[in-house]
Structure 1
Amino acid sequence: MWARALCVGLLAVTVGLIHHLQPDISEAALEYLTSSLHSLSSRETTSSPSFEEALSAAWDQVITAPSRHWGKVAVGVNACVDVVVSGVSLLQALGLNPRSGGDHLVLTSPEELAATFVHYMQRGAAAERFYSDADSFQHISRTATQDPGAKHFVGGNAALIAQRLAGHPHTEILLCGPIGPKLHELLDERILVPPTSLQEQDEYHLILEYKAGEQWGSGRAPAANRFIFSHDLSNGAMTSLEVLLSNLEDFQPKLLVLSGLHMMEGLSQEQRTSRLHEAASALSDVPSDILIHLELASMTDGELMRGIIYQQVFPLISSLGLNEQELLFLTQSANGPHSALSAWSGVPDVGVVSDILSWILQGSGSEGSGLTRVHFHTLAYHIIATIDGFWENQVAAVAAGARVAGTQACASETIDPARVMLKSPLEFSTSQTETGYTARISAKEPVAVWKSGGVTFHFTPVLICKDPIRTVGLGDAISAEGLLFSESKAQ
């Protein structure tokens, strides 16, 4: 690089000197020398692409289509209309004053909303809460929809995943959930909705977004993210689960994507326990040739999480999708590896994450678990971990998930190197509890692969959008894209 720069400089001086000493030099000769200078300079520029450019190009090389597609995918059960608005703008419109943050597991007032919003904004972390007071929620909802910057989108993990899957030409999608007129209008026309899923009114969720560096009072966001809350009784009771399962025989999917278990936190403890038992019982009747992927979301009730892990849901699923907050809460609830960790400090340590993923796949204390794949996503990187012998094409799957994180956040068709940045470690230990090794990422090798105890890990960085257009639904898009490129040996 330095040698080429020196040559360019010397050639530039030479051209100027020749023109000065021999003013009668022909224009053709001078043009030739000048073009040589430009050519050499241009080669210097094009021969050294940025790491972001090189990584994006390397992803394109490793993202190969699976040899077998899913064909038909059934998705349910949480669906709603997302009202997306600036969090700070809404809190100001509600007449709330900046205050110190404090986490409330269930929101009962605008003041608790403000405190919990600040708590997570200061951490740049996503979170979701149930708002228990119906009248207060309606007032806040009306204020949000009147905000000049408010936008309406497809919402709910199931609907968002269905929307992403519907963009794939080889996939037919069935969506079951509480689908009102506005949501039905917003959904991709290729998504099949059974009449039994249609209802007269929509469920609304409020999405309070904030940008990196945005401040409200003493709270400043280190990264762009969002805070979600709702008073959603239909999704909370998972009323559409039986509708979803009753349509499987006629639709005959190869894959069932389930989400919405976290919405049950809005139920009473007794209702929650009963409904989870009913849901697990219904899922146990799903034919064994239909693989089940469960998409988790932000949760606060440890007993509900333990019920999902032990005997209830984990034994029935093959694949799991979750982020860093859900992963930490899962291991805390079940006293798994690193459960004493109260919160992530910056980018989650890859070795710690790998230890927890390995524990989840190797049983996590639940008997007869059928779980063979976990797709973990955090802002800086993604990992797909699989039990050997069950899944293929996971290098492509993890790279595709990371690529869509960058493109969707920036609302672009392809990765724009000027609009993204890297926060991922490019060298890291693969475990913090066992004898691991140091894995490395390079622009030529965008996916690191390693094995531990019958589990294979696939790691790739994320090119983070510097100024994201919309953060809602990124996790759902990531999991959906990963599934599209995944191939199960049971297919």
Structure 2
Amino acid sequence: MWRKASVAALLALAVGYFYHGCPELPEQLLQYIGPTGDQSSQQSQRRLEQVISDAWDSLIKLPTRQWGRVAVGVNACVDVVVSGVGLLQALAVDPGSGLDHEVLNSKEDLREAFIHFMERGAAAERFFSDKEVFRWIARAAAEYPGAKLYVGGNAALMSQKLATYPDIMVLLCGPVGPKLHEMLDEQIVVPPGSLQETDEYHLILEYKAGEQWGLTRAPQANRFIFSHDVANGEMSTLETFVASLEEFQPDLVVLSGLHMMEGQGRELWEERLKEAVAAISDIRHDIPIHLELASMTDKDYMNSIMQEQVMPIVSSIGLNEQELLFLSQAGDGPHAQLPAWNGVPDVGQVSDILLWILERHGRADPSSEADLTRVHFHTLAYHVLATVDGHWANQAAAVMAGARVASSQACGSAVVDAAKVVLKAPRSFRDSHSEPRAELSLDPAAPVTVWRRGNVTFHMTPVLVCKEPLRTVGLGDAISAEGLVYSELKGRRP
């Protein structure tokens, strides 16, 4: 016992020396952090990541009251994962300059949009309008050497992650075809009204960090998703989903797929969104609803979700850096003038936008009747959970659990391997981009930084970024699902 405590104390002291840049370390500490100098920098860094990983494992605990039944809907499909550059070359497309397109109408639009996001290392998702051209590209993708088929769609992916916990019963509702049904975890319940004769396919064009095509070089690994998906695009199974909740009696509802309606055109999405809100409003008020957002480009559509329709009636949302900034741009929120993030998103700016969401559209405003009390933000280098005080518990464990699964799943392993990951989160940062603001820092031995602004508490933890990720698709869904597993809603019925 004494020896373990001594080792822990030495490690903590070593980390303190490391952070304060002490040029001379006590000899007895060198066995734990290695000798100083350029030759050992990689070894010291790897051991820093080990300190964080070990801290996660010791600090992450399940909440006292866990979810027993979780209902998830409503987008589901089969993902065809393939090398983006390889597929475009097979389609006889030449590299060139990038250009974003809200909707893809041709393979040239696909090329330009893919390059646009590849050169930024950013994830994106687009609707492909031409059904026949999409089918032709989909056949080429399925036949491309090394192409793989996976469970796809935010709802199905979150269901798969939730189903890894044997004490959670999961209901999945979405357009589930025979291939997808075969691939789902046997523990997942699919209502009969959700089954259909054919599968919906999404094409996932992946690229690696440093991969080059023409003059374009990817700064980090990521993926570009596109589809011609009418069933998910119309959220055709939403009413079936809501109707199934009365029998299933969930403790938590997880909703995704709203972004798919954007590609249907304004006239269709305006009407369908009203119907969706009416259906969601039928869910019993004491059942919390988590909304998982995804890439969108239509500011009017985002505003309809944010201000008028969906966001006020959900308890929690999950989103990444692109979705966070676009949400602020659409609603003229903080830092809306930023065209894009420059590298790792500034923690202070992220904090400003998260606070604005909860004050403008959530319960942080004491006079508000909105249900929104929790936002789970994730980006490559770090995650932040922002919650209105008095509503959620165990959020330090929840944000760490989300970061841990991002590190392990990206590397394709059950646990975090410190030799395969790298710390990219800022070591010090501010809690806001404007005054008054506080200077905060990362402690590897206790890797959750906590701060408060008004009645909102923020929990931030770094991500140990996989150096050679095996698969980037579904990381956001796994992060949000894992964070929900470790979250506890205060005052929830037994």
Same fold (TM over 0.5): yes
> Per-residue deviation at 1:327?
0.3
CA contact (8 A) 1:294 1:320 kept: yes
Following TM superposition, the consecutive aligned residue runs of length 4 or more in structure 1 with deviations greater than 4 angstroms are 1-5, 40-49
Mapped partners of 2:400, 2:416: distance in 1: 13
Superposed, 1:26-425 pairs within 5 Å as: 50-364=47-361, 368-425=369-426
> Per-residue deviation at 1:369?
2.1
CA contact (8 A) 1:310 1:365 kept: no
Equivalent residue of 2:482, what SS?
helix
> Per-residue deviation at 1:364?
3.8
Mapped partners of 2:32, 2:386: distance in 1: 41
Mapped partners of 2:490, 2:362: distance in 1: 25
Mapped partners of 1:86, 1:247: distance in 2: 38
Post-superposition CA distance 1:287-340 (Å, at most 9, x none): 011100000000011111000011210111000000000001000001111111
CA contact (8 A) 2:33 2:47 kept: no
Mapped partners of 2:287, 2:183: distance in 1: 28
> Per-residue deviation at 1:394?
0.2
CA contact (8 A) 1:82 1:155 kept: yes
Mapped partners of 2:362, 2:315: distance in 1: 16
Mapped partners of 1:43, 1:131: distance in 2: 54
For residue 29 of structure 1, what is the aligned residue in structure 2? Answer: none
CA contact (8 A) 2:352 2:433 kept: yes
Count how many residue pairs are aligned between Structure 1 and Structure 2.
458
Aligned-pair Cα RMSD in Å:
1.8
> Per-residue deviation at 1:265?
1.2
Mapped partners of 2:454, 2:308: distance in 1: 23
For residue 434 of structure 2, what is the aligned residue in structure 1? Answer: 433
For residue 461 of structure 1, what is the aligned residue in structure 2? Answer: 462
Mapped partners of 1:253, 1:192: distance in 2: 12
Q: CA, structure 1 residues 264+61, in 2 after alignment: closer, same or farther (shift >3 Å)? A: same
Q: Where does the alignment leave 5 or more consecutive residues of structure 2 unmatched?
A: 1-13, 15-23, 36-42
> Per-residue deviation at 1:3?
6.8
CA contact (8 A) 1:363 1:369 kept: no
* Structure possessing the higher radius of gyration over alpha carbons: 1
Mapped partners of 2:377, 2:215: distance in 1: 32
Post-superposition CA distance 1:381-416 (Å, at most 9, x none): 000000000000000000000000000000011111
Mapped partners of 1:245, 1:387: distance in 2: 27
Equivalent residue of 1:368, what SS?
coil
TM-score (structure 1 length as normaliser): 0.91
Mapped partners of 2:239, 2:172: distance in 1: 13
Equivalent residue of 2:226, what SS?
strand
Equivalent residue of 1:148, what SS?
coil
Q: Give 2:221's aligned amino acid.
A: A
CA contact (8 A) 1:404 1:481 kept: yes
For residue 448 of structure 2, what is the aligned residue in structure 1? Answer: 447
Q: Give 1:478's aligned amino acid.
A: I
Mapped partners of 1:43, 1:292: distance in 2: 46
Q: Give 1:490's aligned amino acid.
A: G
Mapped partners of 1:336, 1:62: distance in 2: 35
Mapped partners of 1:276, 1:445: distance in 2: 43
TM-score (structure 2 length as normaliser): 0.90
CA contact (8 A) 2:119 2:217 kept: yes
> Per-residue deviation at 1:42?
5.8
Mapped partners of 1:150, 1:3: distance in 2: 51
Q: CA, structure 1 residues 86+338, in 2 after alignment: closer, same or farther (shift >3 Å)? A: same
